[in-house]
Amino acid sequence: MTTVRDQVLALKERMSGDIVGQQEMIERLIIGILANGNILVEGLPGLAKTRAVKSLAGHLEADLSRIQFTPDLLPADVTGTEVYHAGDAGGEFRFDPGPVFANIVLADEINRAPAKVQAALLEAMEERQVTVAGTTHKLPELFMVMATQNPIEQEGTYPLPEAQMDRFLMHVLIGYPDEAAEEDIIRLVRGESAGATSNVSEPISQEVIFAARKEIDTVHSAQTIDRYLVDLVFATRFPERYSEALAGWIEVGASPRGGIALDRCARAHAWLAGKDFVSPDDVRAVAHNVLRHRLILSYEASADGVTSDQVVSEVVKQVAVP
């Protein structure tokens, strides 16, 4: 009998057939949708960010919309607006939903849009609803935003404020594939250009994701694990308790959202591995993705070239494992 986990793993396998060399991004996307959160993906152009989210929506019974963020975008271009419709019996204003009313939303280059547009999307992400002309419109039950940023082009961009970055469940960094994966990518695209198609299967139902979430809610987290999560978060807030180096690097630590996100992602990671309990390894596996965007580093850290990942690695190293 096929279990819910088997179907989710099948979704992961199908996506792996579409995307080569980015296994961590695939897994993080699946963890994100299982944990009912939104993901910020940062990477250079051409690293399959758009392809990944299209693959997820294609193999899942889900609607996909793409918003290409530009400096002239307006909030209504994201959320939708009231439009006047004329008829024989007279005209009326009706709400025309924007692209945010989809199951999976690709917010491409989110840092290219001004603050009002970013705020409109981030409000929808947090509240799972949009209010236009005094009327509230609920977003779909299955809803996830994958926002992308390009790390090399900062001219003419509007960096996300730290408080808004905190709304993302995870911040995923992706890099170049290795040599073998690069060869596979060339062959894959060559085959697609020649008309080759992979085995087409029925999309996986949204109900599978909802059932998986219920199972993840039952994954056991011992009190020692809960304390470990708290210790990791508090190590970012009170780094002087652990080391002088950490104290000099961190200006502002993670908020309570950080601990909640660690718990949700660690339980999803454990469930994907076929476990009914969370281990310290599950927490450490997602720690960088969950914490790297929740830290504000000091001027001293920036001057020394210390990255958020290095700081998170030091935090994980300093905090005792239960």
Q: Is pLDDT at 199 greater than 60 in this prediction? A: no
Q: If DSSP codes are grouped into helix, strand and coil, which group holds residue 92? A: strand
Quote the CATH superfamily of domain 219-318.
Magnesium chelatase subunit I, C-Terminal domain (1.10.8.80)
Q: To 5 degrees, how large is the angle CA 75–CA 80–CA 84?
A: 120
Per-residue model confidence as pLDDT tens digits over 69-116: 888 888 889 988 888 777 767 777 788 888 999 999 999 988 888 888
> Which pLDDT score, from 0 to 100, does residue 45 have?
81
Residue 200: the pLDDT is: 62
- C-alpha 163/C-alpha 33 separation (Å) is 22
Contact between residue 59 and residue 33 where contact means Cβ atoms under 8 Å apart? no
Helix axes 4-18, 23-34, angle to 10 degrees: 140
Candidates 257, 268, 188; CA nearest to 27 is 268
Give residue limits of the domains in the chain. 4-188, 219-318
Calculate mean pLDDT across residues 152-165. Answer: 73
Other beta carbons within 10 angstroms of residue 139's beta carbon come to: 20
**Average pLDDT score over the chain:** 88
Q: What is the pLDDT of residue 33?
A: 95
Mean pLDDT for 274-281 is 94
115-133 per-position pLDDT tens digit: 888 888 888 888 898 888 7
Which residue carries 């995307």 as its tokens? 19
Residue 154's pLDDT is 64
Residue with tokens 């060399």: 21
What does CATH list as the number for 4-188?
3.40.50.300
pLDDT confidence bin for 156, thresholds 50/70/90: low
According to the per-residue pLDDT averaged within each range, which of 15-24, 83-92, 260-269, 298-307 is highest? 260-269
| The pLDDT of residue 95 | 82
Which of left, alpha, beta for 33 (phi over 0: left; psi -120 to 50: alpha)? alpha
Q: How many CB atoms lie within 10 A of CB 36?
A: 18
Whole-angstrom distance, CA of residue 105 vs CA of residue 66: 6
The tokens for 26 are 């695939």
Residue 53 burial class via C-beta count within 10 angstroms: exposed 0-12, middle 13-18, buried 19 and up = buried
Query: Is the pLDDT reported for residue 153 higher than 70?
Result: no
How many angstroms separate the Cα of 54 from the Cα of each of 131, 282, 299? 28, 27, 39
This prediction's pTM: 0.90
**The predicted structure's pLDDT at residue 221:** 93
